[in-house]
Amino acid sequence: MDKISLVRILIIGIAGTLASAVILGYEWWTTKEYLNEQNRVINILYDQFQEKRNSTSSSAPIVSDLPPVTPEPVGSSNGGAEPVAEPEPEPAFPVVNETGFPLTIPDGFKISLFNNESLGPIRFMAFSPDGILFVSMPSPTGLYSGLKSGGKIFALPDKNKDGKADEVKTVLSGLDNLPHGIAFYNNYLYIAEEDKIARYKYLNNSEVGEREVIVDDLADAGDHVSRTIGFSASGKMYVSVGSSCNVCEETDSRRAVISEYNPDGSGFRIFATGLRNAVGFVFHPVTGEIWATENGRDELGDDLPPDEINIIRENNNYGWPYCYGKKIPDPAYNNPGRCSATQASTYDMQAHSASLGLRFWRGDLLVAYHGSWNRTEPTGYKVVRLDVEGDKIIGEQDFVSGWLRPDGSKLGRPVDVIVDDSGAIYVSDDKTGLIYRVSEIK
Ligand SMILES: [Ca+2]
Ligand SMILES: [Ca+2]
313-361 pLDDT tens trace: 999 999 999 999 999 999 999 999 999 999 999 999 999 999 999 999 9
**E-assigned strands of 295-375?**
307-312, 323-324, 328-329, 347-349, 355-361, 364-369
Please name the helix (run of DSSP H) or strand (run of DSSP E) that holds residue 419, with its range, or none: strand 414-419
Ligand nearest to the CA of 164: 1
Ligand nearest to the CA of 348: 2
CA 157–ligand 1 middle distance (angstroms):
7
Within-domain flag for 91: no
**Going edge to edge, which strands form the sheet with 307-312?**
281-283, 290-294, 307-312, 347-349
CA 130–ligand 1 middle distance (angstroms):
15
CA 258–ligand 2 middle distance (angstroms):
13
CB-neighbour burial class of residue 248 (10 A; exposed 0-12, middle 13-18, buried 19+): middle
CA 228–ligand 2 middle distance (angstroms):
18
Query: Does the structure show a pLDDT above 70 at 15?
Result: no
Q: How far apart are CA 142 and CA 148, in angstroms?
A: 9
Assess contact for 422 and 431: CB atoms under 8 A. no
Within-domain flag for 408: yes
Ligand nearest to the CA of 277: 2
Looking at residue 298, what is its pLDDT? Answer: 87
CA 115–ligand 1 middle distance (angstroms):
10
Ligand nearest to the CA of 113: 1
> Which domain covers residue 3, as residue numbers?
1-54
Assess contact for 248 and 222: CB atoms under 8 A. no
Average of per-residue pLDDT values in the chain: 87
Ligand nearest to the CA of 114: 1
- Looking at the fold, whether 267 and 158 belong to one and the same domain comes out as yes
- Looking at the fold, whether 125 and 14 belong to one and the same domain comes out as no
Q: How far apart are CA 426 and CA 113, in angstroms?
A: 9
Looking at residue 374, what is its pLDDT? Answer: 85
Within-domain flag for 73: no
CA 231–ligand 1 middle distance (angstroms):
28
Which pTM does this prediction carry? 0.82
- Looking at the fold, whether 11 and 100 belong to one and the same domain comes out as no
How many domains does one find in the chain? 2
Ligand nearest to the CA of 133: 1
Within-domain flag for 28: yes
Cis bond before residue 305 (omega within 30° of 0):
yes
CA 135–ligand 1 middle distance (angstroms):
16
Task: Give the pLDDT band (50/70/90) at residue 17.
Answer: low
Q: What is the CATH number of the domain that holds 115?
A: 2.120.10.30
CA 276–ligand 2 middle distance (angstroms):
8
Query: Does the structure show a pLDDT above 90 at 134?
Result: yes
- Looking at the fold, whether 152 and 19 belong to one and the same domain comes out as no
- Looking at the fold, whether 34 and 102 belong to one and the same domain comes out as no
Task: Give the pLDDT band (50/70/90) at residue 79.
Answer: very low
CA 372–ligand 2 middle distance (angstroms):
19
CA 321–ligand 2 middle distance (angstroms):
9
- Looking at the fold, whether 144 and 221 belong to one and the same domain comes out as yes
Within-domain flag for 130: yes
- Looking at the fold, whether 134 and 241 belong to one and the same domain comes out as yes
**Going edge to edge, which strands form the sheet with 269-272?**
227-231, 237-241, 257-261, 269-272
Query: Does the structure show a pLDDT above 50 at 72?
Result: no
Ligand nearest to the CA of 115: 1
Within-domain flag for 89: no
Looking at residue 23, what is its pLDDT? Answer: 53
- Looking at the fold, whether 33 and 106 belong to one and the same domain comes out as no
Query: Does the structure show a pLDDT above 90 at 60?
Result: no
Looking at residue 22, what is its pLDDT? Answer: 57
Q: How many CB atoms lie within 10 A of CB 78?
A: 9
- Looking at the fold, whether 403 and 256 belong to one and the same domain comes out as yes
Tens of pLDDT, residues 385-438: 999 999 999 999 999 999 999 999 999 999 999 999 999 999 999 999 999 999
The residue from 22, 38, 54 where one domain ends is 54
Looking at residue 4, what is its pLDDT? Answer: 60
- 4 compared with 98, residue with greater pLDDT: 98
Q: Which residues surround ligand 2, an ion (CB under 5 A)?
A: 318-319
Q: What is the DSSP letter of 25?
A: H
CA 357–ligand 1 middle distance (angstroms):
24
Task: Give the pLDDT band (50/70/90) at residue 222.
Answer: confident
Looking at residue 371, what is its pLDDT? Answer: 96
Query: Does the structure show a pLDDT above 80 at 235?
Result: yes
Q: Phi/psi of residue 370, each to 5°?
A: -65, -30
- Looking at the fold, whether 33 and 133 belong to one and the same domain comes out as no
- Looking at the fold, whether 266 and 366 belong to one and the same domain comes out as yes
Q: How far apart are CA 207 and CA 136, in angstroms?
A: 15
Query: Does the structure show a pLDDT above 60 at 76?
Result: no
Query: Does the structure show a pLDDT above 80 at 19?
Result: no
**Contacts of residue 418, Cβ cutoff 8 Å, sequence gap at least 6:** 125, 126, 127, 133, 357, 359, 425, 426
Q: How far apart are CA 165 and CA 155, in angstroms?
A: 9
Q: What percent of the chain has pLDDT over 70?
A: 79
Which of 85-99, 188-202, 292-306 has the least mean pLDDT?
A: 85-99
CA 101–ligand 1 middle distance (angstroms):
21
Q: How far apart are CA 100 and CA 116, in angstroms?
A: 11
CB-neighbour burial class of residue 18 (10 A; exposed 0-12, middle 13-18, buried 19+): exposed
Radius of gyration over every alpha carbon of the chain, rounded to an integer in angstroms: 25
CA 166–ligand 1 middle distance (angstroms):
4
Within-domain flag for 296: yes
Ligand nearest to the CA of 326: 2
Query: Does the structure show a pLDDT above 90 at 99?
Result: yes
Within-domain flag for 77: no
CA 380–ligand 2 middle distance (angstroms):
19
Which of 6-10, 44-48, 131-135, 353-357 has the least mean pLDDT?
A: 44-48
CA 156–ligand 1 middle distance (angstroms):
9
Looking at residue 93, what is its pLDDT? Answer: 73
- Looking at the fold, whether 36 and 102 belong to one and the same domain comes out as no
